[in-house]
Structure 1
Amino acid sequence: MTRLGRLAGASLAALLVLSTVAGAVAVPVVAADDPTFEDQLIPGHQNETVEIVISVDDSDPVNLSIGSEEEGFLATAVVADRDGDGTVTVELDLSEAGDPGPNYAAPYLSVSEGDRMWEATQETEAIETPLPPATYQLTLGPMDDPDSIGSLAVNEAPDDSPSEPAVPNRFDYEGEGIALTNGSERTISGQTELEPGSKLLVRLDLGGADTGTPYLIEDDPTVGENGSFTATFDLRAVPAVSLGDVTLLDDGRELASADVVVTEADSNESAAGAPASCPGATTTEPADGDDAESGGADDPSGDEAERGGDDGTGDDSDSFPVVPAAFAGGTVVLGGAAVAYRLR
């Protein structure tokens, strides 16, 4: 081969190499004025309105598609920047998306003030709202050759329905404390936040320094369906007037407490319950026949001393231990006689 031929061959080979390298590194360049999504992934819950922000370099119309035929939901619109800020903000109400509205005009789509939207259309048939949880495709420009692609991630709406307020652990009574009479089957009720079927311990602590003889009585009621409980006590051996407190326990943990006073049962007590020893206090109805056990008005012994009669001091008034501040005034029944008292 001649020198000229060799040079021609070398030049041709160099051109081929350059062409190959150039072809290998060449990449498509996105035009500077192509619209793009500011966020490629837009999350939202079914009960929310999300914003789809599109960056543009001019005021030319942009075709927006949300979803696809394959995804079961497709809405399209044409939008444009009219206030010159370089963006178009499209608002999508996910709670209404899927309901095309009159003439399939996609009323769940709108744009922010200063921008423009027209030809909003739901391309697919109506579906149940809100928009089902899924990931939907977002495209700008032709769907088969988009200028920009993004994703809309729709999540289930959180359960924000108001929950039932927690039931405080408590005893049910009015006034400053619970008033009982010293008969059988005396009840104390209340409410708890524990699960139905749970076992409780209700401890009634009476007497002590105020009456000389302490009485500690317990019951273990079961929590009902609505969180209620009722403890039952036999108080026939408890003298009047006995003061103390009741405690609600769960495995040794104190849940609630209240002051308690026990007065003497009387046959004249109405069906509504015994006279309260503090204003508005809760009482329980005595069982039949408690008068004989309590030394009531029909007591044949006629023992005035037990009812606080004449004690030789010249003071004929009934007397009993001084009550605490929780029971600062009211009426108690002693030996069948209603007696008013006031703490001094």
Structure 2
Amino acid sequence: MTPTALRTAGPARGTLVLACCGVLLPLSVLLAVGTGSADIPPLEVARTLGAHVGLPWAPLPPLRDSIVWDLRLPRVLLAALVGAGLAVCGTVLQALTRNPLADPYLLGVSAGASTGAVLVLVLGLGTLGLPAGAFAGAMAAFGCVLLLLGRTPGTATRVVLSGVVASQLFSALTSLVVVYSGDAERTRAVTFWLLGSLAAADWTSVGICAATVAAGLPLCLLYATHLDALAFGRETAATLGFSPRRVETSLFAVTAVVTGALVAASGAIGFVGLLVPHAARILTRASHRLLLPCAAALGALFLVWADTAARTLFGPRDLPVGVLTALLGVPAFALLLRRRTGAP
């Protein structure tokens, strides 16, 4: 392949992947909303959505309309937003740390959010306080990481170790609170939330996550060229006329806030932010300007269908989607490791 072809192959593939996802994602939303214990054809789902947004279409009967608009659509949209946000954060953190094993929970945000959520549940503040408590805990964990790092992020290894220390601290605090509460019902609620579930999705959580992702993705895209440069190391990036430390600090803060908001709404859903960025890189081979939106679209598609499977395949039980993503993610990650190491 000629050098010119090499330069154009990545953008062409990335644009193709993004276009395919742009078609598949709306179709997936329609199909996922219609799938469940009471199946609803996609055309009826579209009719209900159109009626609610002001189109002159006749809505479904009240019960089916409520199933679509109040129960399933918020959950499917939240799955898409959480999947997109986690995939983008994972892509950014893997580039910043130059670590293919980095994921959105690298900075201890998930452990901190778990502690905040557990405190809210144990103190009996109600479900309205759960997202706020989880977000406060996530930001407290990120604050601890910043204290450990000092005034500058330091090396990638130092960032990773600081995140590990914060995660261990807040995980221990979570266990302490759960044991101290001694309430079996609350312990079950805490365990279900910690596994990662979208069952409590509502329009409020959808709005918060939509605003967070809508702000976070453009901010990350502003640093797309910086992320490309950082892939070659700090020293190389510094020769291009920007401060790697300032970029890293800004992006660490953005990913921490976005991840905190998403975890507050869904719990800790593993492997999405770890595996989807690798899949996006394999499919696109593009720079971060195309890689980030492609990762967002692939993450949204993946989690929409993972959550649909979690709530339908094991009916009438609602399996936490974090369990299913782990079951799917472990073998996929094993294959990825074999591919990277060249194992036979």
TM-score bracket for this pair, using the shorter chain length: under 0.3
TM-score with structure 1 setting the length: 0.19
Q: Kindly indicate whether structure 1 or structure 2 has the higher relative contact order, using CA contacts under 8 Å at least 6 residues apart.
A: 2
**Which structure's CA Rg is the greater one?**
1
Structure with higher helix content: 2
Structure with higher strand content: 1
